[in-house]
Structure 1
Amino acid sequence: MIDPTPSTTRAGAASAAGVPASAVLPAVRRPFTAVFRALVALAALTGVVLDTIDSDDLGRLFSYFTVQSNLLLAVASAWSAHRAWTGRPALSPRITGAALLYISITGLVFHFVLSNDSSGFSMTSDRTPLESVANQLLHTVTPLAAAFDWLVLTAPGGFLLRHAWQWLAYPLFYLPFALIRGAFLDPGTDGRYPYPFLDVDLHGYAGIATNAVVFGLAFYALALTLTLADRVRPHLHGLRNRISPTGSGPLK
């Protein structure tokens, strides 16, 4: 005879009786998701390692938002891969959404601003073979992979409107970090400021403030777009995690 009691009721009763919920609802492992996220973490780390091998100034290298955002994505993806492999609940959407936003900023700013000669902030230059591979991994592969994870492997509805402004904490703290670091370096030092739109020598502090407002508003608009899109997009994965609730966030 089939037990008509819903699983959530059984889980609540078991919890009240002192029995762990996992004893009633078995963990659902997601090996494909786990492997994909492990590969995302590997791609991000590989790009950073290749840049490290080809760099003669590690302080400058790790001052780039690109490198920092890829390291954050690597940590979130590896953590999420472990949870998917072991059937544990997903990471908080606040964490995974932040990783998605930062790597999206990296990809969009690179392709539409830094690689665009008409933007006024172009950083095009000759690259070694290692730099070229790292460049594609860090600016193209990881942003696209993170977007695929969010759209295909993640239940929708996890992002909240308050997350959009909370996620801006890191980009906002990055601004004084870049400016203070540059202030301690001698004028004319190569890479004194990591990006042309943060270069005080070129724009002055008033110009930097204007650039910061423009980019900040654009980043907030992107965060809102991701949040709203997450609430209306279909659930393409098709399989519901029986432990974690619907909309438990990307990279789970």
Structure 2
Amino acid sequence: MTAPIPRDIPDLPAIPGIPVLLPSHVPATAVVPPVRRPLVATYRLLVALIAAAAVSLELALGSPLRTLSHFAIQSNILLAVVLTLSARRAWTARRPLPSALTGATLLYVIVTGLTYHALLANEASPYMLPGVLTGEAAGPTGWHVITTQVLHTATPIAALLDWLLLTAPGQLHLRPAATWMLYPLTYLAFTLVRGELLVPGTPARYLYPFLDVARHGYRSILANALLIGLTSYALAILLVALDHARPNPLRHRLHHRAKTGFRLQPPVG
């Protein structure tokens, strides 16, 4: 005869040494479908190609070393590289680039545009130099008209629109924003050392009039650099604040995607 099976079997004690599984705290919004974004990729690649074409044209029209020494040229090269990488990730539905990199790139091109229009192309500014890429006080002519507007106006606006309309909010943070100032400080040191190494009287010895030590002296130049640096950092803080306050332009589109093939990843941006 077999013993009857009891109706209620008591719970067995936990086996020591086996960790208890904790409940997951991953929010449901972090689980998104791995979707491709070909239109976003196309836009970013187009902006990158325009920036690269303008930089290449400036290199062909003038001295390559002097052209590469401009902050506008360097920031647009960085923008072209970052947007190309971002376009590839949007096309293949991969994780977005680190927000510290994309935020720094956005800040630099915005500073490029604001500096040009507020100080260099503004008739009321004491540092007016509309032909900054050629080192001439007169306005740019020929192909320089196009490249100047592309590098100082078109690409900053395009980068700003990409951030506002094609990128998920809440990605920028204050802690990395402080490190964004390292490049402007390095560029300031580079500009001052470059000016000291060049022979006095060399054309475009100092690329920007507000950094011209020979004309204004170190005290005025350092004061200008401090003012521009503080303004840039305030702009970085403003970008971070706006990034956390602006609505999500991707929420509506992601909500209506097909709910298949889910995987755990942050929003593609």
Give the alignment partner of residue 85 of structure 1, picking from 72, 91, 108.
91
TM-score between the two structures when normalised by the length of structure 2:
0.80
Q: Matched residues in 2 for 1:129 and 1:82: separation?
A: 34
Describe the superposition over 1:217-247 as per-residue Cα deviations: whole angstroms up to 9, x where unpaired. 100111011010001001123334975425x
Matched, 1:169 2:182: yes
CA distance in 2, matches of 1:25, 1:118: 51
The yes-or-no answer on 1:205 pairing with 2:205 is no
Q: CA deviation at 1:136?
A: 1.2
Partner of 1:104: 110
The corresponding residue for 1:133 is 146
Which stretches in structure 1 are left out of the alignment for 5+ residues? Answer: 1-5, 10-23
Q: 8 Å contact 2:86–2:96 — kept in the other structure?
A: yes
TM alignment of 1:1-252, pairs within 5 A: 27-55=34-62, 57-124=63-130, 125-237=138-250, 238-240=252-254, 244-246=265-267, 252=269
**Structure 2 unaligned blocks of 5 or more:** 1-23, 131-137, 258-262
For residues 220 and 25 of structure 1, what CA distance do their matches in structure 2 show?
34
Classify 1:61/1:243 alpha carbon distance in 2 versus 1 (closer, same or farther; 3 Å). Answer: farther
Measured at CA, do residues 236 and 45 of structure 1 come closer, stay the same or move farther in structure 2, by a change above 3 Å? same
Q: How far did 1:27 drift?
A: 2.7
Return the offset for 1:163: 2.1
Query: Normalized against structure 1, the TM-score is what?
Result: 0.85
Whether the 8 Å contact between 1:100 and 1:146 is mirrored in structure 2 is yes
- Deviation per residue, 1:94-139 (Å, 9 max, x gap): 0000000000000111111110121111102232321111011101
Deviations 1:52-102 (A, max 9, x none): 1211x2111110000000000001000000000011100010000000000
1:231–1:25 Cα change, 3 Å: closer
**Offset of residue 50 of structure 1:** 1.5
Paired residues of 2:55 and 2:147 also in contact (CA < 8 A): yes
Contact 2:54–2:147 at 8 Å: present in 1 too?
A: yes
Q: Is the 8 A contact 2:52 2:76 kept in 1?
A: yes
Identical residues among aligned pairs (%): 47
Structure with larger Rg = 2
- The answer on whether the counterparts of 1:80 and 1:91 sit within 8 Å (CA) in structure 2 is yes
Contact preservation (8 Å) 1:90, 1:244: no
Distance 1:201 1:36, change over 3 A: same
Q: Which has the higher helix share?
A: 1
For 2:229 and 2:152, the matched residues in 1 are separated by: 20
Secondary structure in 1 matching 2:171: coil
SS at structure 1 position matched to 2:249: coil
Number of equivalent positions? 228
Moved more, 103-112 or 159-168: 159-168
Shift of 1:25: 7.2
Q: 1:204 to 1:154 in 2, by over 3 A?
A: same
Q: How far off its partner does 1:40 sit?
A: 1.1
